Amino acid sequence: MTTKQLTAYERKETLRDFLGKNKNAIAECLPKFMTTERLIGQLMTNINANPKLLEVSPRSLIGALLYCGSLGLEPSALGHVYLIPFANRQKGTTECQIIVGYKGLAMLARRSEMIDCMNAGVVYEGDEFDWEDGTSPFVKHKPDPSRTEFGNPDDILYAWASYRIKGSTNPQITVLSKNKISWHRDRYSKAKDKGPWVDNFESMALKTAIRINMKLAPMQTEMHSAIALDEMAESQLSQSSFMPELPKALDEKLQEIESEEVKEIQDESVTPGLTIPQWAPTSVKGRTIEELSPAQQKTFAKTLKKRLKVATPETNPNYGQEATLLLAIEEKLGTASATVKEAATEPHHKKDEVEEPPVDEEQKAELTMRESLALVVDKLKITPNGRWIIVDILDKHHIESIKKATDDQVKILIDAFDRELKEFQAKEIEAEAEEEEVKAE
């Protein structure tokens, strides 16, 4: 079966048409002051500015759009929030990542009924600046009116933020020196050498001060969620586990589209020219199976078997594609097994389960998350430096301990720990594959 390759314009118009037909379901997720038409229009503007967003799966893109809407922030040129394509190498997919700007954080803070006022600023050389923390905190900042150049990181001395609770006379202040800002960037950001930390250091310094300042503020859930999302984006972690469920009607229609896409992939899967994925060892990744030597095919087949042995279609979205790739390699080598053929061609069926007493769904979901967290922690502990990695991640997300983590924090920890574990496993598999390849040659 062959399918027509849509142009970027056709994909954008198909997405616009789908959102327009389901605008009633989208409206259910939005605050009263935000309209569906405006939000869809902002998404199209973002796609025009960054066409790579069309490479994102529709579910991820729509989920991110609705989450922005639920926060009451527009992904527009105003700088409240940004939609960025994110390559999830663990899953082999492209997701839409939400990055909250400092203006978005400030807007959420000012909406709080408990915050009387908030402010923030960046101090340059030549500015008058004085501050004091303690029982009578204050910040006094008078920018130098003669300065004409802004944005140069070398000229920045401090970034500060403050808020005052209604009924209180003292503000809560946060002042970060240039050294502290750079330390925070180097410690927590995995994109310190590219992107906004390089192109717009001033805004990132300001956002860092606001984010730290607001962590102890009496905020609504939206503010804490926005801070958590932004930290995940800065650490280049997938936000998929943090996204809320889509409205039922919208979810069902997306499932229909996805099932059609899967069917098309399965119909076209066993063909010559299958490409080795990017997670594979450098010597073979990106090449077709026809370009590999028999020794390389045997070595990579062993790698695929190891991955499929510990995975399921639920834990590895590319399970079917990897099984198909393994089948194609083994058919070329004349070693294809019935088990591999079944994994590549048959849909996954769960084993019959013993009927259990009904359990509250929320309690069951929470229990499953906690169990998943415990499982990944146990696995990470036995890796080199695993315990130090756990402590570092807890410190990074300002979580006192694993036991005291909230439900939202549990999701963040699972994603962060799982990412570290999979990176370790990928390196281990790559090292074994390269060793096998050297032996074969």
Tokens 């003292």: give the residue. 170
pLDDT at residue number 163: 92
pLDDT at residue number 69: 87
**Residue 4 burial (10 A CB sphere; 0-12, 13-18, 19+):** exposed
The whole-number average pLDDT for the span 213-242 is 80
Is 423 within a domain?
yes
What's the CA angle centered on 324, arms 54 and 264, to 5 degrees?
Answer: 45
* Whether 118 and 214 share a structural domain: yes
* Whether 428 and 374 share a structural domain: yes
* Contact in structure between 350 and 310 (CB atoms under 8 Å): no
Report the share of the chain in percent with pLDDT over 90. Answer: 13
What's the CA angle centered on 349, arms 344 and 351, to 5 degrees?
Answer: 130
* Whether 73 and 84 share a structural domain: yes
Is 107 within a domain?
no
How remote is the C-alpha of 293 from its chain's centroid? Answer: 37
Q: What is the dihedral of CA 107, 111, 117, 121, to 10 degrees?
A: -10
How far apart are alpha carbons 101 and 415 in whole angstroms?
A: 22
Contacts of 157 (CB under 8 A, 6+ apart): 123, 124, 125, 127, 129, 177, 178
Is 90 within a domain?
yes
pLDDT at residue number 355: 46
* Whether 19 and 61 share a structural domain: yes
Backbone angles phi, psi at 173, to 5 degrees: -115, 155
* Whether 381 and 405 share a structural domain: yes
What range does the domain containing 405 cover?
A: 361-440
> Which residues on adjacent β-strands are paired with residue 161?
120, 174
What's the CA angle centered on 52, arms 40 and 107, to 5 degrees?
Answer: 50
* Whether 417 and 432 share a structural domain: yes
pLDDT single digits (tens) 281-292: 767 777 788 778
How remote is the C-alpha of 316 from its chain's centroid? Answer: 16
Fill in the amino acid letter for 88: N
Is 356 within a domain?
no
Handedness of CA 112, 117, 118, 121 (dihedral sign): positive
* Whether 258 and 306 share a structural domain: no
> Number of folded domains in the chain?
4
pTM (2 decimals)? Answer: 0.55
pLDDT single digits (tens) 296-350: 888 888 888 887 777 677 667 777 788 888 888 888 887 755 555 555 555 544 4
How far apart are alpha carbons 234 and 226 in whole angstroms?
A: 12
With a cut of 90, say whether residue 146 has pLDDT above it: yes
Is 355 within a domain?
no
Among candidate residues 264, 299, 325, the one where a domain is terminated? 264
How far apart are alpha carbons 73 and 79 in whole angstroms?
A: 9
Tokens standing for residue 418 = 């799982």
* Whether 200 and 117 share a structural domain: yes
* Whether 224 and 194 share a structural domain: no
Backbone angles phi, psi at 266, to 5 degrees: -65, -35
Fill in the amino acid letter for 133: D
What is the H or E stretch that residue 340 is in?
helix 338-345
* Whether 93 and 236 share a structural domain: yes
H helices of 154-215, where? 178-188, 196-199, 201-214
| Region of residue 151 (phi > 0: left; psi between -120 and 50: alpha; otherwise: beta) | left
* Whether 253 and 392 share a structural domain: no
pLDDT at residue number 259: 65
Handedness of CA 412, 417, 423, 429 (dihedral sign): negative
* Contact in structure between 89 and 101 (CB atoms under 8 Å): no
Is 106 within a domain?
no
Is 59 within a domain?
yes
Among candidate residues 292, 321, 345, the one where a domain is terminated? 345
Is 304 within a domain?
yes
How far apart are alpha carbons 307 and 326 in whole angstroms?
A: 11
Handedness of CA 14, 37, 73, 397 (dihedral sign): negative
Cα 95 to Cα 52, 77, 177, 227, 298, distances in angstroms: 11, 21, 34, 19, 32
With a cut of 80, say whether residue 40 has pLDDT above it: yes
* Whether 126 and 199 share a structural domain: yes
> Looking at 54-63, 173-182, 223-232, which range is the least confident one?
223-232
